């Protein structure tokens, strides 16, 4: 049983984090969630708490039953940080070392592997600046799964669709197995 910090960002694909959390729980993992402020426009902390059975961190200043700063507690407990969906915003902030919410602070503070599952518009995904940030993060040991080509929220079909949840779970399992 591994402890996974599931980071949820402000993407239309955030609704899939509900099913993803359930799949990870069925595999026997403890799943805690850290949500960016924009994530709650798509899925509520109460929904994620109900699915995971764990309190959700959606603020640096609100989470009962922690000792010390919330982001440090989450970072220390996590054996893996999974950001799904990962927006261009969270990828670029991580690459730049920007820590302005509970999720970015936890990513910066953790010694655990970080796995990003990008989901965004195809124009955003193919942007050379974002591609540079992804390459930079990979060079620092961060991992990525997807995206894949598929239907996008903007009505286009292109690269930027969240990888199938089964692929994300398989990559989580591979990453955890590599730590043992």
For domain 3-179, say whether CATH 3.40.50.1950 is its number: yes
pLDDT band per the 50, 70, 90 thresholds, residue 136: very high
The whole-number pLDDT of residue 65 equals 60
Residue 147 preceded by cis peptide, ω within 30: yes
User: By three-state DSSP, how is residue 54 classified?
Assistant: coil
- Which of these, 154, 26, 4, 6, lies nearest to 86 by C-alpha position? 6
Question: Which of 15-19, 72-76, 125-129, 159-163 bottoms out in mean pLDDT, i.e. has the lowest?
Answer: 72-76
Which residues carry out catalysis? 154
Q: Phi/psi at 32 (nearest 5 deg)? A: -110, 150
**Domain edges within the chain:** 3-179
């Amino acid at each position: 049983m591994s402890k996974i910090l599931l980071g949820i960002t402000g993407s239309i694909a955030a609704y899939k984090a509900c099913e993803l959390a359930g799949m990870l729980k069925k595999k026997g993992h403890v799943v805690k969630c850290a949500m960016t402020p924009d994530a709650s426009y798509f899925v509520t902390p109460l929904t994620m708490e109900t699915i995971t059975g764990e309190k959700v961190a959606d603020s640096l200043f609100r989470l009962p039953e922690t000792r010390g700063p919330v982001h440090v507690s989450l970072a220390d407990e996590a054996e893996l940080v999974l950001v799904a969906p990962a927006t261009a915003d969270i990828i670029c902030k991580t690459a730049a070392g920007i820590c302005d919410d509970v999720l970015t602070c936890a990513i910066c503070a953790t010694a655990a592997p970080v796995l990003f599952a990008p989901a965004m518009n195809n124009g955003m995904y193919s942007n050379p600046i974002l591609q540079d940030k992804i390459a930079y993060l990979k060079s620092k040991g961060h991992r990525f799964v997807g995206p894949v080509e598929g239907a996008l929220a903007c009505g286009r079909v292109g690269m930027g669709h969240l990888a199938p949840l089964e692929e994300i779970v398989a990559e989580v399992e591979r990453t955890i197995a590599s730590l043992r």
